[in-house]
Structures are given as structure tokens and as C-alpha cells.
Structure 1
Amino acid sequence: MIALLRRDLAIAVRAGGGFGLGLAFFLVVVVLVPFGVGPDTATLTRIAPGILWIGALLACLLSLDRLFALDFEDGSLDLLATAPIPLEAVVGVKAVAHWLTTGLPLTLMAPVLGVMLNLPGQGFVWLVISLALGTPALSVIGAFGAALTVGLRRGGLLLSLLVLPLYVPTLIFGAEAARRGAEGMAVNTPLALMAGISFACCALMPFAAAAALRVNLR
């Protein structure tokens, strides 16, 4: 499993589909927002948590179609399906690799981009905490969507349509936690709900994704 994780990390970094592309897209979204809504600092402060969360969510979508597509094309996925490692563990490792190359860099970069949107000082910590709790759910849910669409031509659009509705609860509670933290309000409820979503997704989605892969590999 460690070897598989190292392999996926190396592929993501060398191919540029995870680390660099996600960060570049996140940066572009945040830079364009002030041009669209205007330079008013009060407006930017109010919408900053939501914009940062939306940018991170969309950046996570960019590399999801590569989770299983490369392995499916070169036949590695068939070997992984018949390996002694459970297919659920393979899905979990790939989701972890996606989070390490996409979710974690986005979480670390968010405070820097928050300065550009005039995010209040007390909101930086809660923004990082909310992204750290929510982005694992985005990666695991994305792995499930990638498993459903593996082998389909131009499955990226279908993958986005399948995954985006499942992302909505995480987006709502994540943005709400960041907003409340920026305004100095209590964040216990949205953080607890988001953590529950992340734990539930990490516990259940690998099994659903593995079942989808078995169906597509028949």
C-alpha cells in the first residue's frame, strides 16, 4: 500500500494534474473575483470564506478523472483488482494521494489568498481548520465518482455532474464555519457537522467506489 501511495504521488507530481493545476486554478479564481464584484473591501470581506471554499472545491474536481483513468488505460487497474490488497484499500490509498497532492496544498495556500480577499485576521485559523476537515471528504467522494465513470470516454463532465451534488453539504458547512470564524461567532456546530460528513464519507465511500470498480471491470 505504501508503494502504491508513492507511485500515485509521483504520477500526480510529474503529470502536473494534481499539485500544480489545482493551485493555479485556485489562484486564478481568487484573482478574478475582485474584478467581477468590485474592489470594495467590505464586500470582499463578506464573500471571502465562500469564494475560497468554492475555489478549493472546483480545484479538487480538476484531477479527479485521473484517479483511475491512467490505471485503467494501461491495465494496472486489472492487476490491482486481483492483487492481495483489497480493492477498498486501493481506493483509500488513491483518495489519500489525491488529498496530499490537491486538498492539502489548497488548504495551506488558502490563507495566502485570503489576504487578497481581505479576510479578517481571526478567520484565517478557522478557514484552514474547515478546509482541513472538509477536503478529505471531497477527495473520497471524488474517488467514488471517478470509479463510476472509469472507462467512459469524456467522462470528466459526467463525473462533475455526479460529484457536485454530493459536494454541496461539505461546501455549505465548510463555508459557514469559515464565515462564522471570520465574524467571531461560534463555529462548533458547522465544524461538527462537517467532521461527521468527512468521517462518514471516509468510512463508506471506499466500499461504494470498490463496488463500482468491480462492475466496470467485468
Structure 2
Amino acid sequence: MTTLFIADLHLSILRPDITECFLTFMRDEASQAEALYVLGDLFEFWIGDDDNSPFHSSIKEAFMALTQAGVACYFIQGNRDFLLGKRFCKDTGITLLPETAVIDLYGVPTVILHGDTLCTMDEKYQEFRKTVHKPWLQAIFNRIPLFIRRKIVSHVQSKIRAQKQTKQMNIMDVTPQEVITVLENNHVIQMIHGHTHRPNIHQHSTMNGSATRIVLGDWYTQGSILVCTPNGNTLTTREF
């Protein structure tokens, strides 16, 4: 039995090497697993479920092939694909989870999330996140013609890249106390998340005892996969 976790692929038509690695992973590895969890930022940016470009259609087809083969597939929205919704799920057979979910991972209670909500020291980002997650604003955005949405997103991405260059590195990592709070509030001893692009396995002390936090890697220079079995968890990589 194997359960796989991935995050922060940032799939884009501009990076065919990442896409090729992902499609190979889906065909050769994920198809042999019990379940696949995607913990956000699958895409560089998802502007709406009505985007049926050939590139996005190829990604949907890979997920549909996986779910039709009987592999359970779950998705948590990230900060780049928070607009991914019910239509995408219908087209692919995946299950959309809330931003924080608790699962039983081979007997270990585990909280899973994208990870951006853990970075509470980045106050400007948290304000931005609160704004763009307002349902009424998302409803308005989804009614804007697709080509205009692309222009809006391109402008926003440019601003985000510029802001990152002036941010201190420490505020873009998780806040240790927030990690403890999430672990304790969910009564778990294990956490899996992405977002920070700093793959590692950390140990934390909580009121529930010792807890493990597994950080998934990004797919900028190589594929990054967390492989979980009843015997343990392993962070692995795949060459492009």
C-alpha cells in the first residue's frame, strides 16, 4: 500500500520539462498507488475552471485516467490555484478538500494543508489572501471574460514577484507557534504541507506529545514526491 503527496508543481505551458515529469509520474507511479494527494499550487496560476486550453485539458486527462483506474485523488487549493473548483473536480474525478483536513495515514492522525496559512509573519500576504478568498469577489472575477482574467493575473503575478524580492526570507517561512497551534487544535501528531519550497522533516513538541512535520518540495528543478507506506514516509525526487 502506498499513498503519495505532491505540491508546488507550478505547471505552466512555459515549463514543458515539469509537465513531462508530472505526466510520467501520473502514468508510471501514481497509477500504482492507493491514493494521491495534491496539496496546492499544481498550476502556476489557475484562472478558472472554464479555461479549456489544450495544456490544461492534458492535465485534466491525466487526472481522469488516474481516478478511472481506481486511484483516489484529493486536492487542497494553494495560493496559486485557489479558484480551482467543482467543475474541475467533475472533469477529473478528484475530491476537493477544505484548506485544512485531517486524515488517517496508515494509523497516524495527520493534518494536511497547503501551508500558506502557517506563514503568519507575512502580514501583507495574509491580508491579500483574506481578500481574494472572499466568495463574492471570486464570483465577480469568474464572470469576467477569460482573456481579461489572464491580463489581470499577469499583472498580479508581476507585483508578487517584485514584492518577494524585498521580503525577508524568515517571514516567508512558517511561524513555529502557528504550526503548534494547528497540530494541537486538530489533535494530531503529524502534519504534511507544501508552499515554502523547503523540503524537510521536522520534529515538534506539543501538548499531545512529539509531532512530525513533513514539508513537501517544489518542482522547479526536479520532481518532489512524498511516498508514504505503513512502514514509514520518504521524501523522494525525480529528475527532469
More strand by share: 2
**Higher relative contact order (Cα pairs below 8 Å, separated by 6+ residues):** 1
Task: Give the alignment's TM-score, normalised by structure 1.
Answer: 0.28
More helix by share: 1
Task: Give the alignment's TM-score, normalised by structure 2.
Answer: 0.26
